[in-house]
Chain A
Amino acid sequence: MSVLKITKYLKAGRSKANLWLMLVAVLLSFGASAPRQDEITKEYQVKAVFLYNFTQFIEWPPDAFAQPDAPLVIGILGPDPFGKYLDETVQGEKIDGHPLVVQRFHTLAEIAHCQILFVNRDEKSEWKQIFDYAKAQHVLTVGDVTNFSKQGGMIRFFPEDNKIRIRINLTSVKNAELKVSSKLLRLAEIVEP
């Protein structure tokens, strides 16, 4: 599970990603000018579930929470692609006594506490600021934009074989003093830039 696999995924990822884009393009050109609501939602349903799942496979340091029963916040920075789905997924769930809540932010400054941050901003210039924040605040940054993880984002969703795969930037994760379960690591592509 190593260099070979990573390179294979990368290669496949490349072409498969291209395929995806092509497909989207075709679909776009054929039909609705707006992206199909259910398709996108489907992809983000899965991502929403994954986001929820992350809470089970990642350990935050004790000082990430104010109190033992402080909520575990899943934040969305930028436009919310999940709709109500993420809310439904985490509804009523608790992790280690921390109830799960979803919060939406427009800007970084709005964030009070957050453990997972889904970054849905294209502005790469903003990313550095976000990642530094994350590192300091023990926030797990998740994105699905190209090079997200290469640039310092911790987890990136990327499509492969009609599935959502995960790429983890282990350095960023470690820097933020977050522990990722080996079970999750095993599934993911590790990137250490």
Chain B
Amino acid sequence: MLRRNTPIQQKLMKVIMLTSGAVLLLTCSSFFAYEFVTFRQSSMRELSTLGEIIATNSTAALAFDDSTAANEILSALKAERHIVAAGVYDADGKLFSYYRASRNQTPFPTVPEADGYQFAAAYFGGYQPIVQGDKRLGTLYLKSDTGAMYERLKLYGTIALLVVALSFLLAYLLSRNLQHGITTPILALTETAKAVSDRHDYSVRAVKQVDNEVGVLTDAFNHMLTRIQEQNLALNESSAKIVAFNQRLEQRVAERTAELEASNKELESFSYSVSHDLRAPIRSIHGYGNILKEEYASVFDAEALRLIQTILRNSKRMGQLIDDLLAFSRLGRKELMRFDVSVQDIVQIIVEEQKSIEGDRPLEIKIEKLPNAFADLTTLRQVWINLVSNALKYSRDRERSIVEIGSFEKDGALIYYIKDNGAGFDMKYYDKLFGVFQRLHSQKEFEGTGVGLAIVQRIIAKHGGKIWAEAKLNEGATFYFTLSGMSSSAVAVNEN
């Protein structure tokens, strides 16, 4: 009958058992309490009844002064275990005869006290008049211990427990069998609900088994399922529409992307061929100019040589301009591939390269601690190349180029810096510093295309970082930059 106990069945049975248990216990304990309270009274009644009997039986013995017979009568009390003492006092209050239980050692009262029975701590007893006809012949004294009471209570207690246990068992059996009426419909409904939720099958319907609240629940459940099915249909329709819409969007995006890519590609090949084609004539100019300068120097006078130098200088510059312009434009299209790169290594190599380019000029390049950066290797190299070469270039007129490269932390951000003791610049023109083709010095002072810092700024910006500078005319310049707002601690995490 019982497959297994589901929690609701358990709960129901628990409720029933607890209720019946509580009722039983309450009943039994009230009965018990009542018994306890009235037991005193009933014990007293019993004792007084016994007293009356004994008294009646003792009248003759007392009347005829037969203490032996009176003792005999009293000794019959031996049968009543709980009587510890009994005594007959004559009309003068003298102890006429007595009975004493073997274990009792206390002496008898010398004179009888008032009639009636009383309860003391461990005993109860009293005095009973012995009357024949309407003459009082004497007094009967009876003393009983309370053992009877406790025996009685124990008996009641045992019975009560037995009854409770049996009733409990009965309650359990009954509840186990009768709770089906309630739980079966609920369980059926639960099964259906589970089926719906497990299989996502909204066509399932629960079978209405009863007509009570559970029935109402079943109906509501089924109704809900119908609604869900309808809504699902509606949803499916609209989601199909959305999908279709999405697809059209995707298509459009793809088309646009293709267009963009195509135009990018065009730009790419355009700039490539432009640079290639632009470079070729420059190569020739420069090359042939060099030949003239080197192999026909003897033929030229100083003025002619100066003219040739000018040609060469300018063609070289043209080449630089083209290269820089190309590099700058290429940056816009480039995708950064960022890794954890060792800035220390990059800078050291670049410094060595730049040193060799500068030749024998007295240089002092100090490299402090440079933590790793999460950056694109190629472009980061470009940044350092530009910055280092700038530092060296603009300090060329010093006796000794002193360059310091390092990093520090401020407000949780890691800042790299490069400081030179070169010409510096006027902070008045700071906003021109990073502009394309903008220069703060003439070609005569320092050569350059004015694209270097613009390139650097673009690269830094692409990394999500910032670059700024501080300088004083003729006292050198310091360039600071951060990368991508990643704090040093975040970088440290990356390192680990």
The answer to whether any beta carbons of A and B sit under 8 Å apart in the complex is yes
Which of these, B65, B66, B69, B132, contacts A56 with CB under 8 Å?
B132
Whether A56 contacts B63 by the Cβ 8 Å rule is yes
A57 contacts across to B, CB distance below 8 A: 60, 63
Which of these, B56, B60, B133, B135, contacts A187 with CB under 8 Å?
B60
Measured in the bound complex, the distance between the Cα atoms of B65 and A163 in whole Å is: 8
Interface residues of B in 37-64 (CB under 8 A from A): 56-57, 59-61, 63-64
Judge if A17 is at the interface, Cβ distance under 8 Å. no
**Closest CB of chain A to B367's CB: distance in Å?**
136
Judge if A46 is at the interface, Cβ distance under 8 Å. yes
Among B56, B61, B63, find the residue whose CB has the most chain A CB atoms closer than 10 A.
Answer: B63
Which of these, B57, B64, B132, B133, contacts A166 with CB under 8 Å?
B64
Measured in the bound complex, the distance between the Cα atoms of B64 and A56 in whole Å is: 11
Write the chain B residue with the least CB distance to A5.
Answer: B68
Write the chain A residue with the least CB distance to B67.
Answer: A163
B64 contacts across to A, CB distance below 8 A: 50, 53, 166, 184, 187
Whether A183 contacts B65 by the Cβ 8 Å rule is no
**Closest CB of chain B to A92's CB: distance in Å?**
12
Whether B59 contacts A183 by the Cβ 8 Å rule is yes
Write the chain A residue with the least CB distance to B61.
Answer: A187
Q: 0/1 per residue, B131-145, Cβ < 8 Å to A? A: 011010000000000
Whether A187 contacts B69 by the Cβ 8 Å rule is yes
**Closest CB of chain B to A5's CB: distance in Å?**
10
Whether B63 contacts A53 by the Cβ 8 Å rule is yes
How many residues of chain B get a CB closer than 8 Å to chain A's CBs? 13
Whether A56 contacts B133 by the Cβ 8 Å rule is yes
Judge if A25 is at the interface, Cβ distance under 8 Å. no
Number of cross-chain contacts by CB at 8 Å: 37
Q: 0/1 per residue, A45-78, Cβ < 8 Å to B? A: 0100110010011000000000000000000000
Whether B133 contacts A183 by the Cβ 8 Å rule is no
Judge if A23 is at the interface, Cβ distance under 8 Å. no
Write the chain A residue with the least CB distance to B58.
Answer: A183
Write the chain A residue with the least CB distance to B70.
Answer: A187
B65 contacts across to A, CB distance below 8 A: 46, 163-164
Among A50, A56, A183, find the residue whose CB has the most chain B CB atoms closer than 10 A.
Answer: A183
**Closest CB of chain B to A163's CB: distance in Å?**
6
Judge if A151 is at the interface, Cβ distance under 8 Å. no
B59 contacts across to A, CB distance below 8 A: 56, 183
Interface residues of A in 170-185 (CB under 8 A from B): 181, 183-184
A165 contacts across to B, CB distance below 8 A: 66
Whether A95 contacts B133 by the Cβ 8 Å rule is yes
Interface residues of A in 18-65 (CB under 8 A from B): 46, 49-50, 53, 56-57
Measured in the bound complex, the distance between the Cα atoms of B56 and A66 in whole Å is: 30
Measured in the bound complex, the distance between the Cα atoms of B90 and A46 in whole Å is: 14
A181 contacts across to B, CB distance below 8 A: 60
Measured in the bound complex, the distance between the Cα atoms of B63 and A181 in whole Å is: 13
Whether B133 contacts A184 by the Cβ 8 Å rule is no
**Given A46-B65, A163-B65: A186 and B60 within 8 A (CB)?**
yes
Q: 0/1 per residue, A68-104, Cβ < 8 Å to B? A: 0000000000000000000000000001000000000
**Closest CB of chain A to B73's CB: distance in Å?**
8
Write the chain B residue with the least CB distance to A183.
Answer: B60
A164 contacts across to B, CB distance below 8 A: 65
**Closest CB of chain A to B67's CB: distance in Å?**
8
Measured in the bound complex, the distance between the Cα atoms of B135 and A141 in whole Å is: 24
B69 contacts across to A, CB distance below 8 A: 186-187
**Closest CB of chain B to A97's CB: distance in Å?**
12
Write the chain A residue with the least CB distance to B59.
Answer: A183
Measured in the bound complex, the distance between the Cα atoms of B59 and A164 in whole Å is: 16
Measured in the bound complex, the distance between the Cα atoms of B64 and A53 in whole Å is: 8
Sample 15 A-B pairs with CB under 8 A, ordered by A number.
Answer: A46-B65, A50-B63, A53-B60, A56-B133, A56-B135, A57-B63, A95-B133, A165-B66, A166-B64, A183-B56, A184-B64, A186-B61, A187-B61, A187-B64, A187-B66
Partner-A contacts on B (CB < 8 A): 56-57, 59-61, 63-66, 69, 132-133, 135
Closest 6 CB pairs of A and B: A183-B60, A53-B63, A187-B66, A187-B69, A184-B60, A56-B132
